[in-house]
Structure 1
Amino acid sequence: MRFERRNPVSAERVWEGKAADAADVAHALAVARAAFPDWADAPQASRVAIVQRFGELLAFEATRLADLIGLETGKPRWEAASEVQSMIAKVGISIRAQAERAGERSEEAAGMRSVLRHRPHGVLAVFGPFNFPGHLPNGHIVPALLAGNTVLFKPSELAPATAEACLRLWRQAGLPAGVLDVLQGGAETGALLAEADLDGLLFTGSARTGARLAQRFAQTPQRILALEMGGNNPLMVWEPEDVEVAAALVLQSAFLSAGQRCTCARRLILPVGGEGDDLLDALLALCERLRVDAWDAEPIPFMGSVITPAAAETLLSVQAQRVAAGGRVLRAMRILREGTGLLGPGLLDASDIALPDEEVFGPLLQVQRAQDFEHALQLAGATRFGLAAGLISREPARYEQFRRRLRVGVLNWNRPLTGASSGLPFGGVGASGNHRPSAWYAADYCAFPVASLESPRLQIPEIPGLAAAAPAS
């Protein structure tokens, strides 16, 4: 089946091609399986050299690739350029992380050597998301290849062109045939690949899809499954040092990437009374100044489009449901240009409604007012997710309480919630992940440890309770 991808504002066709069917998946798997032994046995230095060459090509093609990401996803040019820089940085970070977390070490004692080595799993599938079509799949693919796995990459059907461009760069870097292939398509192609005879699957996407994959993999514990999913992330502002600065941090936390980052703030928790009112006033004033436009517009916008016009309509439906349940509109999220995915940022006071524990993947920030700090902590922790949480406060003691109470994988203080370091692990707990964090820890799930005791000579072991041999007659 053929499908296409169009820009979410101009409707310009970006890519057109065929979705992989069962025969395509089977063929790609056979090729990857055949390529695995040579790639796994290649010297580590050879694999590192190819990955480094890929990073060099990314740098050389940075502007062109950023423009493609902007055109395909609708994110502003400056943000797409930042994504490409993150891809380039990931190369060096992954090489260092692999050496630290999945390298080789040995010790000698009493004529015996204890050795730790790591071996690749085999053929891994990588499922990529649309919001970071280069960076997030890259965070799985680079460490998987460094470990010696072969990879079948199914990008989001909403970002096929970026995946194809990256595959070309890998091939230019000298990656052997069959070591990495791209299988384009939607949910049907993903289901075919998930059901194939893989050695593992590395997924970034929604909690709903991740839960289905976990069920599918439950009967096959021999296969690795790494799930990186979303969150219903709380951001608390309590006794900030500066209200205006705090409002700017909230703006970035909630509306960066048009709210389409898994770490975006979904719930803003404020105290009842004047302090919370002042923060909201400052935030609403900033929202009025926030530019939303096409990816290549001038002057540059802060926010681009959500991924499709249909996604924009879905988000408006969510907003309408919250309002019908009793939510109070502080600033309505609305479509700024008919037939596009351009949405203005929205704020909704949800203090008096039973807020569904769902990830709203777009520029709608839901406000909850708390009577005191303990109540605020209870609101922040009232979620099945556990990806990210943040506190903006001048009081270190408040942060100590906050970090001890919140069960999340990413926790920030006086920083945007959307900020994360690739030099640290990245992932969540609860409905946000399955304890397979990526970034610095990605090397952990891309290889398995082999512990060996080795001796160059045979030695007679001590065997307590063994009777002495009878003397020879």
Structure 2
Amino acid sequence: MSGELYIGDRWREGRGPELVSTDPATGHPVWRGATAAGTDVFEAVAAALKAFRPWADAPLDERIAAVRRYKAVLEARAPAFAADLSRETGKPLWETRAELGSMIAKVEVSIAAQAERAGSREAATGFGRAVLRHRPHGVMAVLGPFNFPGHLPNGHIVPALLAGDTVVFKPSEETPLAGRRMAEAFEAAGLSPGVFNLVQGGRETGADLLKQPIDGLLFTGSARAGAHFRRQFVDRVEVILALELGGNNPLIVWDDADPEAAAAIAVQSAYVTTGQRCSCARRLILPQGPAGDRVVEAIAALAERLAIGAWDADEEPFMGPLISARAAAGARDEVERLVHNGARPLLPFRQPEGLGEAFVTPALLDVTGIASPDEEIFAPVLQVTRVDDFDHAISAANATRYGLSAGLVSDDDALWRRFLDRSRAGVVNRNRPTTGAAGNMPFGGLGASGDHRPSAYYAADYCAYPVASFEAERAVDTTSEIKGLRP
């Protein structure tokens, strides 16, 4: 195969500048290739447009068989694919193996969701029947993130293909190899030419793609980018937007919760994937006094024990590097601003000794009483706020323009009911990490965290639109039923 773009049914060289992705742990290149220029993007969308009608008209069973072939390819290639994901993202191998498992599981979950949420059904009426059907939108542009470069775009693409849409996928410029591996899997699954297309590149390539006559944008990424897309498409109402964005997510620990149990939940909420999950807890809300102190001490003690290292280190790490040295420098700048404004470091944010510039240690900051910006720091940084009572804890949790995930650690059923009723988030967990989400449930948020089109099980909703019909087998003269008709 030559080239790094997959358009129609063949690989080709891009006409744009070269892009290189590197292992963030070492800086060594893992992928390089020419990106897509505007003409390449035009041709990819043209291929998807040409393929749309035959793919949409194909029986659903054929589309199901195609995505199941893709699933079989993923299963066969999972070990090598996981290793490539680790090399490119820096994530430990245990994480990327789990990511491949999620990609594989997504196929059957999406088939079930398609039947339940976007299938067809009918009911008898006095004149015939009422029928509900769903129809695909057309060409879907999918923009992928770097943190889960396989799982998250996969969660858009598989439901779109099942619905009868065709796809043009642009991976993050940080993880083009992941996109390459996905395209190879779809190619091996034998999809019809143009049903799935891959273009590589950065913001310019993405901008070129969104200027094309697409029918939907399925995006996972930052709230800032999501706001930009909302503005860009304000006059293109025919383009459906499904935006899965970030979060400044709260975790409340209350009611004399066991400190060690709470610490384990908080550490997994805040520091997993080196804090690079949109559902990571960013804010820890605790009661004033000794109970809160014990939780903080337990978190600090547990965080100090977390192994940090490269994905293939002899000692299996809990955390790898951030996606790049530039990302680590940006996160350090944000933490320094917080400290300058009065935040008190309980665990300092630093570069681990003997590791590269993209590596950081978990940070724990007490921001009680200071004006902490309502921003997502995409790094292992947890900000602690102390409050006087549970009502203030809920108010603090909701004091954000985001609304993706939230959590409560408490054995008190009454507190859980109050929190569940008043929390403003799309994922609300109890005694589990804020990052926990089931594939057979919706995943998404409100406010700056999304546009009320959750993904996961509910991706079927935005990949097809409903068509409601009144139907009768034959035309019957109903002149006598017309009111006010003159003789």
Query: Are 2:231 and 1:211 aligned?
Result: no
C-alpha deviation, 1:111, in angstroms: 4.3
Query: Are 2:248 and 1:232 aligned?
Result: yes
Q: Distance in 2 between matches of 1:405 and 1:195?
A: 40
Q: Distance in 1 between matches of 2:25 and 2:236?
A: 43
- The residue that corresponds to 1:471 in the other structure is none
- The residue that corresponds to 1:420 in the other structure is 437
For residue 357 of structure 1, give the secondary structure of its aligned residue in structure 2.
coil
Aligned residues: 468
Query: Are 2:50 and 1:34 aligned?
Result: yes
The Cα offsets for residues 162-207 of structure 1, whole Å up to 9 and x where unpaired, read as 1111111111111111111111111111111112111110010000
Amino acid at match of 1:415: R
Q: Quick check: 2:406–2:425 contact (8 Å CA) kept in 1?
A: yes
Q: Distance in 2 between matches of 1:355 and 1:177?
A: 51
C-alpha deviation, 1:338, in angstroms: 5.5
Structure 2 counterpart of 1:379, from 382, 387, 396: 396
Q: Quick check: 2:25–2:320 contact (8 Å CA) kept in 1?
A: no
Amino acid at match of 1:81: R
Q: Distance in 2 between matches of 1:392 and 1:241?
A: 7
Amino acid at match of 1:2: E
Query: Are 2:64 and 1:48 aligned?
Result: yes
Query: Are 2:462 and 1:445 aligned?
Result: yes
Structure 2 counterpart of 1:307, from 319, 323, 344: 323
- The residue that corresponds to 1:352 in the other structure is 369
Amino acid at match of 1:351: T
Amino acid at match of 1:464: K
Q: Distance in 1 between matches of 2:58 and 2:255?
A: 56
Query: Are 2:42 and 1:18 aligned?
Result: no
Residue correspondence of structure 1 range 50-69 to structure 2 within 5 A: 50-69=66-85
Query: Are 2:423 and 1:400 aligned?
Result: no
- The residue that corresponds to 2:136 in the other structure is 120
- The residue that corresponds to 2:477 in the other structure is 460
The Cα offsets for residues 412-449 of structure 1, whole Å up to 9 and x where unpaired, read as 00011110011110000001010110011100000011
Q: Quick check: 2:309–2:355 contact (8 Å CA) kept in 1?
A: no
The Cα offsets for residues 252-307 of structure 1, whole Å up to 9 and x where unpaired, read as 00000000000000000111110000001111110111001001112100111110
Query: Are 2:207 and 1:191 aligned?
Result: yes
Which 4+ residue blocks in structure 1 deviate beyond 6 angstroms?
none
Query: Are 2:169 and 1:138 aligned?
Result: no
Amino acid at match of 1:213: F
Q: Distance in 2 between matches of 1:47 and 1:20?
A: 28
- The residue that corresponds to 2:166 in the other structure is 150
Q: Distance in 1 between matches of 2:42 and 2:238?
A: 20
Q: Distance in 1 between matches of 2:46 and 2:186?
A: 20
The Cα offsets for residues 211-262 of structure 1, whole Å up to 9 and x where unpaired, read as 0001111101111111100000000000244211110110000000000000
- Structure 1 regions of 5+ residues with no counterpart? 469-473
Q: Distance in 2 between matches of 1:450 and 1:375?
A: 46
Q: Quick check: 1:240–1:392 contact (8 Å CA) kept in 2?
A: no
For residue 72 of structure 2, give the secondary structure of its aligned residue in structure 1.
helix
Provide the TM-score with structure 2 as the length reference.
Answer: 0.95
Q: Quick check: 2:407–2:429 contact (8 Å CA) kept in 1?
A: yes
For residue 61 of structure 1, give the secondary structure of its aligned residue in structure 2.
helix
Query: Are 2:275 and 1:259 aligned?
Result: yes
The range that moved more, 104-113 or 183-192, is: 104-113
Query: Are 2:401 and 1:389 aligned?
Result: no
State the identity %: 53
C-alpha deviation, 1:11, in angstroms: 1.3
- The residue that corresponds to 1:250 in the other structure is 266
For residue 227 of structure 1, give the secondary structure of its aligned residue in structure 2.
strand
Amino acid at match of 2:283: R
Structure 2 counterpart of 1:326, from 342, 347, 354: 342
C-alpha deviation, 1:339, in angstroms: 3.9
Q: Quick check: 1:10–1:340 contact (8 Å CA) kept in 2?
A: no
C-alpha deviation, 1:108, in angstroms: 2.5
Query: Are 2:109 and 1:90 aligned?
Result: no
- The residue that corresponds to 2:357 in the other structure is 340
Q: Distance in 2 between matches of 1:345 and 1:241?
A: 22
Structure 1 counterpart of 2:452, from 424, 435, 450: 435
- Structure 2 regions of 5+ residues with no counterpart? 1-16
For residue 266 of structure 1, give the secondary structure of its aligned residue in structure 2.
strand
C-alpha deviation, 1:340, in angstroms: 2.9
Q: Distance in 2 between matches of 1:328 and 1:415?
A: 27
Q: Distance in 2 between matches of 1:454 and 1:335?
A: 67
Provide the TM-score with structure 1 as the length reference.
Answer: 0.98
The range that moved more, 334-343 or 445-454, is: 334-343
Q: Distance in 2 between matches of 1:326 and 1:457?
A: 76
- The residue that corresponds to 2:7 in the other structure is none
